[in-house]
Amino acid sequence: MSLEGKKLGVIGTGKMGSALIEGIYNAGIIPGSDMYASDIFEASLRELNKKFGINVSVENSETIKNCDVIILAVKPQILKSVLSTIKESLDSSKLLISIAAGVKLEDIEKELNSDARVVRVMPNIAATVSEAASAVSAGKNASANDAEEVMAIFQLVGSAIIVPENLMDAVTGVSGSGPAYIFPVIEALADGGVYEGLDRNSALILAAQTVLGAAKMVLETGSHPAHLKDMVTSPGGTTIRGIHVLEESGVRAAFMNAVIASSDRSKELGK
């Protein structure tokens, strides 16, 4: 679906909102002149205007008035109060995208007019570098075209898939929070390299590229991660020795538990 000529707004310019603005702008499909942002923090707005040339305002109604599609990038705890202030500005011609973790579509829709078109998305911070993993669920009034349009927007900043809404908490645990699990892994790999004599910069480059390359192999080959692991693991070699230490340390269980804990917290935020 073509996004040319679309005007895109973002309400909330915190870390995630700013990451989406940067990633979408860098994709080069929607120019800064067709992007709008609003927030109560004027310093953040000034910075975004200076960096990307987007239109900014402290009034959410200005963003809604000028845009076809609006991304609501505010924290779950304040979502309800923000919805109450924008309800009268929204009509069925506007497509609203919520990225608030844990907040269900029906809870958003009941705060708006009955014909509101809402789509829920869980992206992640890698939108900044156009490598986000996003999941999309459409609300009761959103059409198939609406879902396709949202997919097209989030594919500008990475990969996007459609999932049933009841799986959104699991998505939050895996990919929404996932980058925060991987950054310490990269740091730890680099620390190991420094311990063995590599300088810090070299170790970080090797560690980060290793994670990037491993992920790319999974995505592009379609092979199961266990199969790819076996490709690297020679009998009696160096890699199996390292794998043994990871298994002894319970690394798999730790990652699984992190996903489960994050998913549980997402469910709590939605209550």
DSSP 173: I
Q: Do 188 and 263 share a domain, yes or no?
A: yes
Give the pLDDT score at 177: 94
Cβ atoms of 239 and 232 within 8 Å: the answer is: yes
**pLDDT digit string, tens, across residues 152-174:** 999 999 999 999 999 999 999 99
Distance in angstroms (rounded) separating the CA atoms of residues 80 and 64: 17
Distance in angstroms (rounded) separating the CA atoms of residues 78 and 150: 23
Give the pLDDT score at 1: 63
Q: Do 128 and 220 share a domain, yes or no?
A: no
Give the pLDDT score at 5: 79
Distance in angstroms (rounded) separating the CA atoms of residues 102 and 237: 45
Show which of 146, 171, 196 is a domain's final residue. Answer: 171
Domain assignment of residue 227, given as a range: 178-269
Quick one: tokens of 104? Answer: 């269900």
> Residue 229 falls within a domain, yes or no?
yes
**pLDDT digit string, tens, across residues 166-215:** 999 999 999 999 999 999 999 999 999 999 999 999 999 999 999 999 99
Distance in angstroms (rounded) separating the CA atoms of residues 150 and 161: 10
Phi-psi region of 165 (alpha: psi -120 to 50; beta: other; left: phi over 0): alpha
Distance in angstroms (rounded) separating the CA atoms of residues 108 and 93: 17
Q: What value does the mean pLDDT take over residues 1-15?
A: 86
Say if residue 254's pLDDT is above 80: yes
Distance in angstroms (rounded) separating the CA atoms of residues 87 and 68: 15
**pLDDT digit string, tens, across residues 228-239:** 999 999 999 999
Q: Do 222 and 239 share a domain, yes or no?
A: yes
Residue 205 maps to which CATH number? 1.10.3730.10
SS3 114: coil
Show which of 150, 171, 192 is a domain's final residue. Answer: 171
DSSP 235: T
> Residue 34 falls within a domain, yes or no?
yes
In the chain, the number of structural domains is 2
Give the pLDDT score at 91: 87
Q: Do 189 and 219 share a domain, yes or no?
A: yes
Q: Do 151 and 196 share a domain, yes or no?
A: no
Q: Do 154 and 202 share a domain, yes or no?
A: no
Cβ atoms of 63 and 70 within 8 Å: the answer is: yes
Say if residue 108's pLDDT is above 70: yes
Give the pLDDT score at 135: 97
Q: What are phi and psi of 35, to 5 degrees?
A: -115, 140
> Residue 1 falls within a domain, yes or no?
no
Residue 161 maps to which CATH number? 3.40.50.720
R_g of the chain, CA atoms, integer Å: 21
**H or E segment at 47?**
helix 42-52
Q: Do 214 and 159 share a domain, yes or no?
A: no
Show which of 171, 192, 209 is a domain's final residue. Answer: 171
- Nearest-CA neighbor of 101 among 125, 129, 69? 125
Q: Do 144 and 234 share a domain, yes or no?
A: no
Q: Which residue type occupies 34?
A: D
- Percentage, residues of the chain above pLDDT 70: 99
**Please, what is the angle between helix 15-27 and helix 42-52, to 10°?**
10
* Band (88; pLDDT cuts 50, 70, 90): confident
